[in-house]
Structure 1
Amino acid sequence: MDVVVIETRPLGDRSYLVHDGEVALVIDPQRDTDRVEAAAAEADVRITHVAETHLHNDYLTGGLILARAHGAEYLVSANDDVAFDRTPMADGGTVQVGRLTVKAVATPGHTHHHLSYVVSDGEDQAVFSGGSLLYGSVGRTDLVSDEDTEDLTRAQYSSVRRLAAEAQPDAALYPTHGFGSFCSSGPASSARSSTVAEQQESNHAFTDADEDHFVRELINNLTAYPSYYAHMAPANRQGPGPADLTVPESVDPAELSRRLADGEWVVDLRHRVAFASRHLQGSVSFEYGRGSSFTAYLGWVLPWNQKMTLVGSEEDIEKAIRDLSRIGIDSPDAALGTDPSALAPGTAVVHYPRVGWAEMLHGRSAGDVVLDVRRTDEYDAGHVAGAVNVPLHELLGRMAEVPAGTVWVHCATGYRSGVAASLLQRAGRQVVHVDAKYGPS
């Protein structure tokens, strides 16, 4: 049995190609299925089965697309209400994928009908746990509804024990979430691999012998999650279509100027340093790059399903289009180029100051405002005296709550505050971007 990991770092998730050298099972593929196709071609295997551990809340699946393209069986929980044909899987159900035996194990918690899969080749086992058992923690349990959260948390506590009982201790563990995804909960580990036995020794879902305590702690430590999640599960029930990953022709300069003047969303992908020093008036900064959480924050902060134009290099725009397709933001327009004045002649090119933490602490004038755009839980754990807290994902709806005066805006690292500074300036405020790691001392 070979397992090929297909990582989606911008969303903190993994998909898997599991094969016996001839035929393959794909688990939890994302919508841009060309990556799976490439992995299967490199391994020289045929995709005969595609499986979902659950109806995903943080991305659009590529499962239906892939299954149809290959005439593969599509394994989906029998209890999930979906609008397409599938091979219904229930607890204890098995399928044969070449020399591999795939057994479904009901592991409710992340969702009501969550399944994990135990795959065996007769000697070795691998456990594909989706949003159930993660490295160091478990999948969050509050995505279905507030009313269901406690029951699902208790189910999660039981599910990891049931899963461990179904697997060999040395079985390799392959979760879908837990690599930066907001679908994770608790003290997720930074491990890149693990086994069932290792998790039994270290994961708080196992080591906490008091179920009530585990439930209280997990629920109390759940933090905010992206608003676009509300659109993912309904779309996955219908079965998403393929993504269009083509880069469109560049928007005409006069048209880009019109869009800015009309208040449309024009998203600048350049580094936040370049944006602060020089950008088109009315544009907003969502820096694209490794580790930037670009997809999650753009989908979280900007209004859903509104016209959008991406501004940046062709390489960044191509990658951003792929990333955004995974959460259902399809076919944005593009203005190719990194020189603001050339992209929209006649539109003002503006800037705002960037400062470090020492300047933020000691360089403000009387009447200036400190705006902390971290999440509420981060603010409650410690903040600058007198700072106003409006989390970035709430800023557009709460702009009127930011007091008058020049706004010095900070977060934990500088990324979120860069987005916030651009939104504030777009709204007509005087801003200073605190582009530094949080450090009030």
Structure 2
Amino acid sequence: MTTIHVEVVETSSLGDRSYLAHDGQVAVVVDPQRDIDRVLALAGRLGVRITHVAETHLHNDYVSGGLALAKLTGAAYLVAAAEKVAFDRVPVADGDEITVSERIRLGVVATPGHTFHHVSYVLHGPDGPVGVFTGGSLLFGTTGRPDLLGKEHAETLARAQHASARRLADLLPDGAQVWPTHGFGSFCSATQFDAQASTIGQEKTVNPALRLEADDFVATILAGLDAYPAYYAHMGVRNAAGAELIDLTPVRRAEPRELRERIEAGEWVVDLRSRKAFARRHLTGTLSFGLDGPMSTWLGWMVPWGAPITLLGESAEQVTAAQRELARIGIDRPAAAATGDPEQWAGGDAARLGELTTATFTELAAARAGRPPHRLPAPDVVLDVRMGNEWRESHIDGAVHIPLPELPGRLEEVPAGVVWVHCGSGYRAAAAASLLARARRQVVHIDDDYAKAADAGLPIVPGNQEK
């Protein structure tokens, strides 16, 4: 008996997964990311030939590598027949069956909800259904969000999402594997659920789409939706047009003078080092988006679309990694880059170097009680840059709330004085603190877990209560 293998290609920075299913000879790739070299390398290691590439939907959170992969390998490119696209594809619709090999078949199931024309692919082996590639339909413990095509369609799509999830559960045995594209931190997911694998049977016990009736599911999912990245507006259009091969050739090197000119022009010059390294020493006017966190999501959300971006990294490898992540969301070519350390980027001019003051929630509590540690300025403003759902769940009493993605356009709303800024863990607060510092505000970065705020003695407003 031939075993069907399913390999996962993880893109943790965007919260997505692509898949390569094979029988040891031929393979089908589902929902590939833009950087298809990873998929090609995997197929090479396995010694399999890619004959089919399948899209569950036109993605909103990344630029697909599907068309480029299909062209490069000569594979059939499966895309829903109802989608309007500007390239040749193999149109598929509900009920179609695709023969990948003598041992692998794909059954197409219409599963609207995340998008209107979303499809899932049931993977059949010699002994029947093995699992289902669900894209943005049935996820681990949740579903794909239904509002990405416009709020006016959200309720309609939420009802469709409920029906699609139920249909998959009815079609497949409890032991069938569920292989979603989204749901590992992606903003395409309606909610977040901590699981790394699941089956239809497991989803019946935990997934609201399979546990709640339609009206309750719709009400729950719509109430829980928060903002999603602004760059999503460009992804669907790019995917409908078809993306070309990714270009990861080295970025042009910027010398200290050019870096100074770009900073003085108000451009986004991004420091990819860790936030702790940034706090210790950085080139004044640069912005902290460490590669050790979801850099592309937050930077892509906040930077004006099409604006030049300059990358600063400790090494060429760090810049290349950032370049790859940005290309996945359609920011194809940074304007320039530099490697080394802040002293080198400043060209030896110490006046161009800065530090960022950091603190903990315990130190914030002491400072608000009139006992600020000697090295810290007393806070005039506590700025919370978490998202709306996080703020509504609980927040520090008296804090000002501006979600990080909105901060570039709302800097003037931050009250005067010393700003202590926090988020959930410190990453987003670093980006916010660097934005404030670039605007010549005196800022303290609270590099701490928000879960520690209450234990530190800070008054917390729970739920939707306001004081």
Q: What band does the TM-score fall into relative to the shorter chain?
A: over 0.9
Mapped contact 1:23–1:45 kept (Cα < 8 A) = yes
Q: 2: distance between equivalents of 1:268 and 1:59?
A: 23
* Cα offset, 1:342, TM superposition: 1.3
Q: 1: distance between equivalents of 2:438 and 2:11?
A: 32
User: Partner of 1:304 in structure 2?
Assistant: 305
Q: 1: distance between equivalents of 2:307 and 2:353?
A: 24
Q: 2: distance between equivalents of 1:86 and 1:25?
A: 15
Within the candidate set 413, 425, 437, 1:425 is matched to 437
User: Partner of 1:257 in structure 2?
Assistant: 260
Give the structure-2-normalised TM-score. 0.91
**Paired AA for residue 152 in structure 1:** L
Give the structure-1-normalised TM-score. 0.97
Q: 1: distance between equivalents of 2:12 and 2:420?
A: 31
Q: 2: distance between equivalents of 1:303 and 1:170?
A: 46
Q: 2: distance between equivalents of 1:10 and 1:367?
A: 33
**Paired AA for residue 33 in structure 1:** I
Mapped contact 2:381–2:419 kept (Cα < 8 A) = yes
1:193-212 correspondence runs (5 A): 193-208=197-212, 210-212=213-215
**Same amino acid, percent of matched pairs:** 51
Q: 1: distance between equivalents of 2:67 and 2:171?
A: 28
1:23-34 correspondence runs (5 A): 23-34=26-37
Q: Specify the SS of the correspondent of 1:4.
A: strand
Deviations 1:334-363 (A, max 9, x none): 433342121132461011210011111222
1:126-205 correspondence runs (5 A): 126-186=131-191, 188-205=192-209
Q: 2: distance between equivalents of 1:6 and 1:204?
A: 27
* Cα offset, 1:189, TM superposition: 2.7
Q: 1: distance between equivalents of 2:105 and 2:302?
A: 43
Q: 1: distance between equivalents of 2:378 and 2:29?
A: 59
Q: Specify the SS of the correspondent of 1:139.
A: coil
Q: Does 1:94 align with 2:97?
A: yes
User: Partner of 2:51 in structure 1?
Assistant: 48
Within the candidate set 221, 227, 232, 1:224 is matched to 227
User: Partner of 1:35 in structure 2?
Assistant: 38
Where in structure 2 are there 5+ consecutive unaligned residues? 369-376, 455-467
Q: 2: distance between equivalents of 1:339 and 1:366?
A: 31
User: Partner of 2:446 in structure 1?
Assistant: 434
Q: 2: distance between equivalents of 1:440 and 1:31?
A: 40
Q: 2: distance between equivalents of 1:312 and 1:66?
A: 30
1:35-434 correspondence runs (5 A): 35-98=38-101, 99-124=103-128, 125-186=130-191, 188-208=192-212, 210-289=213-292, 292-313=293-314, 314-345=316-347, 346=349, 348-364=352-368, 368-434=380-446
Mapped contact 1:357–1:434 kept (Cα < 8 A) = yes
* Cα offset, 1:384, TM superposition: 1.4
* Cα offset, 1:216, TM superposition: 0.4
What root-mean-square deviation, in Å, do the aligned CA atoms of Structure 1 and Structure 2 show? 1.3
Mapped contact 1:270–1:338 kept (Cα < 8 A) = no
**Paired AA for residue 179 in structure 2:** Y
* Cα offset, 1:366, TM superposition: 6.4
* Cα offset, 1:122, TM superposition: 2.3
Q: Does 1:7 align with 2:6?
A: no
Q: 2: distance between equivalents of 1:54 and 1:382?
A: 35
The range that moved more, 215-224 or 253-262, is 253-262
Mapped contact 2:379–2:420 kept (Cα < 8 A) = no
Question: In the comparison of the two structures, how many residue pairs are matched?
Answer: 437
Mapped contact 2:255–2:338 kept (Cα < 8 A) = no
Q: 1: distance between equivalents of 2:241 and 2:355?
A: 44
Mapped contact 2:422–2:446 kept (Cα < 8 A) = yes
Q: 1: distance between equivalents of 2:327 and 2:337?
A: 18
Mapped contact 2:367–2:378 kept (Cα < 8 A) = no
Mapped contact 1:250–1:333 kept (Cα < 8 A) = no
The range that moved more, 111-120 or 158-167, is 158-167
Q: 2: distance between equivalents of 1:86 and 1:378?
A: 42
Q: 2: distance between equivalents of 1:335 and 1:254?
A: 13
User: Partner of 2:464 in structure 1?
Assistant: none
**Paired AA for residue 321 in structure 1:** Q
Q: 2: distance between equivalents of 1:310 and 1:302?
A: 13
Q: Specify the SS of the correspondent of 1:370.
A: strand
Moved over 3 A (4+): 333-336, 364-367
Q: Specify the SS of the correspondent of 1:395.
A: helix
The range that moved more, 396-405 or 162-171, is 162-171
Q: 1: distance between equivalents of 2:214 and 2:418?
A: 49
**Paired AA for residue 164 in structure 1:** A
